Structure 1
Amino acid sequence: MGRTVNLYSFPNVDSDLAPNLRKYLLDAQNEAFKRHDVFRVAVSGGSLPKTLAKALLAPSNGSDDDKVDFSKWEVFYADERCVPLTHDDSNHKLVKDEWLDKIPQGMAAPKVFPIDVSQLEDVQETADEYEKKLVNIFASRDSVKLPLFDLLLLGCGPDGHTCSLFPDHQLLRESDAWVLPISDSPKPPAKRITLSLPVVLAAARIAFVATGGGKKDVLKQIFETEEGRHLPCGLVNEGAGEKVSWFCDQAATEGVNFPRRGSVI
């Protein structure tokens, strides 16, 4: 691995990982505010939204650096399933249930950009519409090659997939589109949209959250083997180097032979 990624491993998700993730998130937020007074984040589903809520909705320590300002957040989806927004398979529903709906009253809410559900059967149209949203926010296609997210918050599947970019899938070779349709996802539901690998790699920061003993085999593969470097998570590590941070618990990193970072705090 060329430029080394940051691997953090914490004894406990609630008492150790979440506070460190909070510090990382607020550092990213504050950097983004200095750049352009807005914080553009793309998130995935899985167990990530629950951990995000633990990190972001914890009480502030009172310092200026530890204040969440959701009024300047813009939240996008790194991938989404082509289902209604109220469907149990929807990443938007998951993020809403686990995080957004738990933001205390009186605290500003982030601006959220879900998919357009008017043509869910046409996965290409759904991807195109979401790409148009990105074009409207990030600038026209002719002025920027790729949208530059301030932060991507991603998960890692047991097969090494991230977003809806799956191992050995042809979408991994797509270099032009920002948002891609997938109609043959190996994991149901089959129809999804996903950010392309070049968009992922262009982000200012990329954070993976991977916890639990069920992740240790794939993490060992990603961090230790040539084959693992070609899995989607491994391609992100290889392509983005030190911009990538992994927030894991000790159960997920057990037996993984890769140098650990100290805490973020």
Structure 2
Amino acid sequence: MMGRPPNLFCFQSIDKDLAPNLRKYVLEQQNEALKRHEVFRVAVSGGSLPATLATALLAPSSGAEDDKVEFPKWEIFYADERCVPLDHDDSNHKLVKENLLDKIPADMGQPKVYPIDEAHLDDVQEMADQYEKTLVSIFAARDSVKLPLFDLILLGCGPDGHTCSLFPDHPLLRESDAWVLSISDSPKPPPKRITLSLPVVVHGVKIAFVATGGGKASVLKKIFETEEGSKLPCGLVNAGGGEKVSWFCDAPALEGVNFPRRGSVI
């Protein structure tokens, strides 16, 4: 692994410890981004992440200047999405909408959200192309932009070590040019999806994984301790992102994992 290793945080309780620390971390990235360019561009995945993120962001503010969620200045994109209608139970957008967007109090304002275009549900490659065009229109004001630079990318970790819709040993892991990729043979249903490419993910200013529960312990042990695990998609993000990467885990997810841990962001 080049440079400094990723940051691994371990918390006893998701609601009492992990979520407040995740809030602190996300708002640090928000505030830095707003200083840079007056907008906070975030890519999010699905799974259990939206619920944990909502717990973090919808908690009451301490009143401190740096503890204010500036939702109207957010732009939310999807690190991956399933080729299903936006109201389908498999949709990451539906997860984010129901867990977070629909629960934001009116006085906090709403982020700008970029879901997939349902017009292309029958053509997964066209859907990927269209989502990439959306990213180009926002990130590539100049032709010299090689990769979109997200201020923060929020990810999950599957029990097989996949993240986004980048799966172990899949040819998509070798794609280096496209920003958004299509997959028609996902090992997990539904089979048709789009996903950010690995180069886009590791290019993010900051990258954070949220991985909780005892079911993640064996794969996290593999990712953080073995050569084999370093080649899994999550391991490749660790290697490519180094100290830009932070893992927010609870104690059961890190049972038996031998890797230096941090106790708190706060």
Answer with 136-145 or 70-79: which moved more: 136-145
User: Equivalents in 2 of 1:216, 1:262: separation in Å?
Assistant: 18
Q: Structure 2 length normalisation: TM-score?
A: 0.98
TM superposition shift of 1:141: 7.0
Q: Give the match's secondary structure for 1:35.
A: helix
Q: Give the match's secondary structure for 2:153.
A: strand
User: Equivalents in 1 of 2:157, 2:98: separation in Å?
Assistant: 21
Q: Which residue of 1 aligns with 2:99?
A: 98
Code of the aligned partner of 2:225:
E
User: Equivalents in 2 of 1:182, 1:130: separation in Å?
Assistant: 14
- Structure 2 matches for 1:50-69, cutoff 5 A? 50-69=51-70
Q: Which residue of 1 aligns with 2:10?
A: 9
Q: Which residue of 2 aligns with 1:253?
A: 254
User: Equivalents in 2 of 1:140, 1:226: separation in Å?
Assistant: 40
Structure 1 contact 135–141 (Cα < 8 Å) conserved: no
Q: Which residue of 2 aligns with 1:218?
A: 219
1:76-114: CA deviation from partner (whole Å, max 9, x where unpaired): 000000000000000000000011111012221100000
User: Equivalents in 1 of 2:68, 2:11: separation in Å?
Assistant: 23
Q: Give the match's secondary structure for 2:119.
A: coil
- Structure 2 matches for 1:180-199, cutoff 5 A? 180-199=181-200
TM superposition shift of 1:143: 2.1
User: Equivalents in 2 of 1:139, 1:76: separation in Å?
Assistant: 15
User: Equivalents in 1 of 2:141, 2:16: separation in Å?
Assistant: 43
Structure 2 contact 213–253 (Cα < 8 Å) conserved: yes
Structure 2 contact 11–263 (Cα < 8 Å) conserved: no
Please list every run of 5 or more consecutive structure 2 residues that lacks an aligned counterpart in the other structure. none
Q: Give the match's secondary structure for 1:106.
A: helix
Code of the aligned partner of 2:22:
L
Structure 2 contact 24–265 (Cα < 8 Å) conserved: yes
Q: Give the match's secondary structure for 2:25.
A: helix
RMSD of the alignment, in Å?
A: 0.8
Q: Which residue of 1 aligns with 2:89?
A: 88
Q: Which residue of 2 aligns with 1:48?
A: 49
Q: Give the match's secondary structure for 1:97.
A: helix
User: Equivalents in 2 of 1:123, 1:83: separation in Å?
Assistant: 10
- Structure 2 matches for 1:62-211, cutoff 5 A? 62-140=63-141, 142-211=143-212
Please list every run of 5 or more consecutive structure 1 residues that lacks an aligned counterpart in the other structure. none
Distance 1:81 1:141, change over 3 A: farther
Pair 1:238-2:248 in alignment: no
Structure 1 contact 222–233 (Cα < 8 Å) conserved: yes
User: Equivalents in 2 of 1:152, 1:260: separation in Å?
Assistant: 21
Q: Give the match's secondary structure for 2:97.
A: helix
1:5-48: CA deviation from partner (whole Å, max 9, x where unpaired): 00000000000000000000000000000110000000000000
Q: Give the match's secondary structure for 1:263.
A: coil
User: Equivalents in 1 of 2:263, 2:125: separation in Å?
Assistant: 43
Code of the aligned partner of 1:103:
I
User: Equivalents in 1 of 2:239, 2:148: separation in Å?
Assistant: 20
TM superposition shift of 1:253: 0.4
Code of the aligned partner of 1:8:
F
Code of the aligned partner of 2:202:
L
Structure 1's consecutive aligned runs of 4 or more residues displaced over 6 angstroms after TM superposition are: none
TM superposition shift of 1:121: 1.1
User: Equivalents in 2 of 1:225, 1:103: separation in Å?
Assistant: 41
User: Equivalents in 1 of 2:5, 2:161: separation in Å?
Assistant: 18
Q: Give the match's secondary structure for 1:118.
A: helix
Structure 2 contact 153–207 (Cα < 8 Å) conserved: yes
Code of the aligned partner of 1:86:
D
User: Equivalents in 1 of 2:143, 2:187: separation in Å?
Assistant: 34
Q: Structure 1 length normalisation: TM-score?
A: 0.99
Code of the aligned partner of 1:195:
L
Percent pairwise identity: 78
TM superposition shift of 1:142: 2.4
